[in-house]
Amino acid sequence: MTSANLLGSWVRRFLLEHVIAERNLSKNTQRSYRDTFSILLPWISIHSRHPIDHLCIADLSSGVLKAFLDHLEHERHCKIRTRNQRLAAIHAMARFVAEHSPEHVAWCATIRAVPFKRFHSPQLTYLEKPQMDALLAAPDRNTVLGRRDYTLLLFLYNSGARVSEASSLPINKLNLRPNAMSHVEIFGKGSKTRRCPLWAATAAELLSLTRNRSSDEPVFVNRHGQAITRHGVHRLIKKYVRKAMAPCPSLANKCISPHTIRHTTATHLLRAGVDINTIRAWLGHVSIDTTNIYVEIDLERKAQMLEKTNALHSNPVSKRPWKDNPSLMAFLRSL
């Protein structure tokens, strides 16, 4: 079998040439694509009874792909969003093969004809101000770890940073000024850097946390002095949500993650009167359409608009000036 027909060689070329060299996609996207094929190839090997290194293009048919997607959804219990992410990676690989091997154009068409599955996006969750305050009050700030955890929660709320952005943030990206506006440079999605202002309280906590440490160290480290992981942040937040439920029982009704704090930041900025374009830049969104979802989920603002609408209806205009203007009606009838 020639290398042009080996599935493994195309996967290798796709990841090295396209994902890394040509597109220079983010590390998280690279890992997502890698994980897709790390799951796909062994699954095909088991069901085709061919060694992974001997799998050919034909072993990945549209029928096999659909069965693999069902496996993700029903046996691995992946959500539809994850299922679609895996399919997107396989579509991209098929397109890469077709661009470099015209003999596989027909195969590519059958693979790319496998559709994404529709799903209803869940309502975005955010915290009301008393709920966020309860979460921030949960860490024991008399301990070293409690002080770190409080600073991390406060930083996430202040900056609206993604969990990956906060966990990988180096100290040298902090610009902390005791008597002036402090800010942080966040390296985010799409390899884009944005600056985010820091509250005086956040800057003071970060200054205390990073004092006498090397500038190239991560800001937030675990017990072993290594950068805290995304999973570590998830566990940390779950721990403090459980603790905060005692003073704030309404937290029990919400599924809270680091991204919930990001949604909370955006919603609270919107309520404070910050314009939508500033919020877009604050969060690092590429498109304003992504930021507009916060206008939709903000129930408080909707209620305020409803009150204004009710005020308009409470004073109806009794006269109808268009009826009292015969020249205008004559004009309309003449059209």
Rounded Cα gap, residues 246 and 130, in angstroms = 13
> Which residue spans within 29-149 are E strands per DSSP?
none
Q: Which phi and psi angles does 194 have, rounded to 5°? A: -130, 155
Query: Burial, 157: exposed, middle or buried (Cβ in 10 Å; 0-12, 13-18, 19+)?
Result: buried
**Cα 331 from chain centroid (whole Å):** 56
Catalytic residue among 162, 183, 263, 280: 162
Catalytic residue among 262, 263, 268, 280: 262
Q: Would residue 13 show up in a list of annotated catalytic residues for this protein?
A: no
Q: How many CB atoms lie within 10 A of CB 72?
A: 22
Q: Would residue 162 show up in a list of annotated catalytic residues for this protein?
A: yes
Q: Would residue 285 show up in a list of annotated catalytic residues for this protein?
A: yes
Tokens of 143: 């301990």
Query: Burial, 165: exposed, middle or buried (Cβ in 10 Å; 0-12, 13-18, 19+)?
Result: buried
Q: Would residue 243 show up in a list of annotated catalytic residues for this protein?
A: no
**Cα 134 from chain centroid (whole Å):** 24
Tell me how far CA of residue 142 lies from CA of 103, 145, 251, in angstroms: 67, 9, 24
Return the amino acid letter for 327: S
Are 90 and 38 contacting, i.e. CB atoms less than 8 angstroms apart? no
Q: Would residue 77 show up in a list of annotated catalytic residues for this protein?
A: no
Catalytic residue among 34, 71, 189, 230: 189
**Cα 1 from chain centroid (whole Å):** 42
Query: Burial, 264: exposed, middle or buried (Cβ in 10 Å; 0-12, 13-18, 19+)?
Result: buried
Strand partners, 195: 185
Q: Would residue 148 show up in a list of annotated catalytic residues for this protein?
A: no
Catalytic residue among 34, 230, 259, 301: 259
Q: What angle do CA 309, 312, 317 make, to 5 degrees?
A: 150
Query: Which residues belong to the active site?
Result: 162, 189, 259, 262, 285, 294
